Amino acid sequence: MQLEFLGTGAGSPGKFRNVTSVALKLLDESNEVWLFDCGEATQHQILKTNIKPRKIDKIFITHLHGDHIFGLPGFLSSRSNQGGSEELTIFGPTGIKDFVMTSLRISESKLSYRIKFVEIAQEGVLFEDQNYIVNVAELDHRIKSYGFRVKEKDHSGELLVDKLKELAIPSGPIYGQIKQGKEVTLDDGRVINGQDFIGKPQPGRVVTVLGDTRQTPNIELLAKDADALVHESTFGKQEGSLARNYYHSTNIQAAKIAKQANARQLLLTHISARYTGKLSKQLESDAKEIFSNSKVVRDFDIIDIPLP
């Protein structure tokens, strides 16, 4: 599981940062990639990575400001042109379907795959399959803005092979049945319960990705015990009043919430263009004074999220 940042800037593209988009790469786990937001020129950024557009089968849109959605029509068309044929699901605020379909209709763009739209109607579970559960909660921005909590389901425990060998249980297909927790009768007549030979389940990972927001209690709920918290940092240490007036957050606010939520790492993004060079490093160092595992991410940074 990895996060790859395709755009880390706020508002408008800059020389060093494109506008917002981050990919959650689940290639080893489920052979798919999820995209969170799709700012202008996201498809150009993808060309500089190893991400294959056809692998992206889910897009989560935090809110409908242009720097988070203007790249969608182009990406969707290119995905079709590059051989994408599998259904793609777009999750987002009410209006995302209208935006996408209007853009495709007016440009007479034909796609080779079906788009399924899930417009967010309420907080809570947004999506669930055999591997993941995604919760959504509303944030505090000038328009509807959401945060997403991706919880990987627990991994089954490892087969306790040494314990099996101690009981002289020979290896072979029977190990597969035991690994499934089944009750198995051995050739010598012994009956064993597979559950007795499986270790404790391994907890799944949690990734929290937030849209633009002022500080609100829902952030801590979404970020609780997260292995990675992706939080906007449009403003710096001395700009708390500006952040509130413009419905954004500071690096210090993000660091405090990461600490309160017991997150394992804080990834600061949505960085204003005025923060470059030393100023960007200062954003990070100020945040680290409160939450040591803080990082101001840059375009194309890849963050590994290992199993605990």
Residue set of the binding site for Zn(2+): 63, 65, 67-68, 141, 212, 270
Residue 217 three-state SS: helix
Active site residues: 67
Sheet architecture: strand order including 56-60: 115-119, 88-92, 56-60, 32-36, 21-26, 2-7, 302-304
Identify the three-state secondary structure at position 26. Answer: strand
Of 28, 32, 40, give the one whose Cα is nearest residue 71. 40
Per-residue b or e along 44-69, where b marks 16 or more CB atoms closer than 10 Å to that residue's CB: ebbeeeebebbbbbbbbbbbbbebbb
Strands (E), the chain: 2-7, 21-26, 32-36, 56-60, 88-92, 115-119, 124-128, 132-138, 146-152, 183-185, 191-193, 206-210, 228-232, 266-269, 294-296, 302-304
